[in-house]
């Protein structure tokens, strides 16, 4: 799929809402196949059950073009995400 997207100039967007944050043994499921998406969608596990949150992660190139929006920065959910993400990274051997 990555090759096709590159060939036709399309973005590769992966949804890791259910599979991200180490649920498959690696931090992201796409790592199992060494696939690097242009955009990665995350949610649920980011908030650690404390606060609903979602995230869109993108390459620098994509971000600079598509994501210039004042509503992208929300401090309370971002702060709530910090603990579960750090905890997962510290105790994980998935990366």
The answer to whether the predicted template modeling score (pTM) of the entire model surpasses 0.85 is no
The predicted model gives 41-67 an average pLDDT of 80
Find the domain containing 61 and state its range.
Answer: 2-91
Please state the domain count of the chain. Answer: 1
Q: What DSSP designation does 51 have?
A: S
Q: pLDDT-based confidence at 27, cuts 50/70/90?
A: confident
Residue 86 CA to residue 69 CA, distance in Å, equals 26
Q: How does the average pLDDT of the chain come out, rounded?
A: 79
Give the count of alpha carbons within 13 A of 80, CB side only. 16
Question: Hey, what are 25's tokens?
Answer: 């043994």
CATH number of the domain that residue 69 is part of: 3.40.640.10
């Amino acid at each position: 799929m990555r090759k096709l997207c590159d060939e036709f100039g399309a973005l590769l967007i992966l949804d890791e809402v259910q599979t991200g944050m180490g649920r498959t043994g690696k931090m992201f499921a796409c790592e199992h196949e060494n696939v690097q998406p242009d955009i990665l969608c995350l949610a649920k596990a980011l908030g650690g059950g404390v606060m609903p949150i979602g995230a869109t992660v993108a390459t620098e190139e994509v971000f600079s073009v598509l994501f210039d929006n004042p509503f992208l920065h929300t401090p309370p959910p971002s702060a709530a995400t910090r603990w579960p993400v750090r905890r997962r990274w510290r105790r994980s051997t998935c990366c």
